[in-house]
Amino acid sequence: MVESALVGWSRAQFALTAAYHWIFVPLTLGLAIIMAVMETIYVVKKDEFWKHTAKFWMKLFAINFAVGIATGIILEFEFGTNWSNYSWFVGDIFGAPLAIEGIFAFFMEATFFAVMFFGWDKVSKKFHLLSTWLVGIGASISALWILVANAWMQHPVGMDFNPDTVRHEMVDFWALVLNPVAVSKFFHAVFSGWMTGAIFAIGISCWYLLKKRETRFALSSIRVAAVVGIIGTFAVMLSGDSSGIHVGKYQPMKLAAAEGLDDGGTRAPFSIVPGIEIPGMLSILATHDINGYVPGINDIIEGYTTPDGDVYLSAEDKMEKGRTALSAFADYTRLKNTDPEAAAEARHILDENVEYFGYGYIDSPEELVPNVPLIYWLFRVMVFFGTFLLILMLFVLWMEWKGRLSNMKWLQWISLLSIPLVYLCGQAGWIVAEAGRQPWTIEGLLPVNAAVSSVSVGAVQTTFFIFVAIFTLFLAIELRILIKAIKQGPKIEE
């Protein structure tokens, strides 16, 4: 009971930190591209209006960027404090992209951020523009290496288990970087940031329209932001399609949970909501073939054979192989210095079953099923609000182009009030991605109950509530500073 409480509180603390961190990251990614486009227009047109417009959004970017750094640092530290077994077991692999992110991408962001924010009129226009673009590129590179690490947890590749060090060790760095899950995750996350930045900029600009202030600034910002957001949202849809293929191939339980699919088959339907289905759509999404086979939750637990004759083991069979691997590992460790021949046999058995090593820590097949209602509904929240926001941006851009947006107060209010929706959409997507692979810290390799640190439940509970207070304070401070900056406005002569 204590162990399950420790796992629960450790997961809750990490989820809290990640959720707060993801409030700041997408806005950073989105505003970076928006302000860079605006400054490009300034350099090309030599119109001071665009300089002041870019500087205003740059100020909001800087406020958000500063607060986001703090939550990101805490998030990385939690791998050592709360998940030390995980860090030991795969630190050689997981630590590499995090180190690259910290040394290269963060250094690049910090260096050119100083030039971007403080270098106006101190360096040439073109060099300043280059610095602004490099800040945005640096932010995306930071996201790349974080997502490479996360994608490896979803689909571990490029490593071998070394029983002598009790660690998984990297054998192919490029397999890690070019992991297909990492590629689709990178584009999905970065372009969702474009969407977040666009909705934020459109909403704030509509506030100015409602207040009948800085009309040219607001309409110009809406035009740029809407174009960026629309491009980003279509890119999110394309990368989401690719991600669906990868989830169906590498994480079928997550896909089954997101669909609430108990029993699979060919021509699997997609459920819009319970009782309303599109025949064959899930097969298309998961395999790009209407006749593609999609396993359900019961199939994965009980084992199944595809129409092509591919056989997939039942959960019980995987658990048995996992226990065999754990037993062989124990034998190898015990015998390697006293009976080399017996140790070699144990190593052979371990190598044959190491793929199922993590299943040896699973007590019952039911543990392999994530929270289906949570995953099912949050997936639909993500899709529904993502679709709504795309339609909103298209309509807002059309009305701005027609010259009617300034007089459409109802549309201005909808745009302003939609800012929280883009955050809800992003958070829902991450919960589906992370909670959907439970009970695994690393898919099929290491469950959370074997990854957690040996610390007291009370210590984790205490730090959880401390973090709640600190992160909420950070968020309140950021909102206060943002609101103050927005009320001051860009100070552009109309």
Dist CA 174 CA 152 (whole Å): 12
What's the confidence (pLDDT) of residue 3? 63
Range 352-366 average pLDDT: 94
What's the confidence (pLDDT) of residue 2? 41
The pTM assigned to this predicted structure is: 0.93
Report pLDDT digits (tens) over 421-469: 999 999 999 999 999 999 999 998 999 999 999 889 999 999 999 999 9
Q: Are 328 and 293 in contact (CB under 8 A)?
A: no
pLDDT at 1 over 50: no
What's the confidence (pLDDT) of residue 494? 47
Q: Rounded to an integer, what is the distance from CA 418 to the centroid of its chain? A: 21
Percent pLDDT > 70 in the chain is 99
Q: Rounded to an integer, what is the distance from CA 187 to the centroid of its chain? A: 10
CA distances 163 to 84, 91, 343, Å, are 18, 15, 11
For residue 34, the SS3 value is helix
Of 426, 425, 440, nearest in space to 251 by CA: 440
pLDDT at 44 over 90: yes
CA distances 470 to 16, 66, 67, 457, 475, Å, are 11, 15, 11, 20, 9
Of 320, 331, 311, nearest in space to 355 by CA: 320
pLDDT at 337 over 80: yes
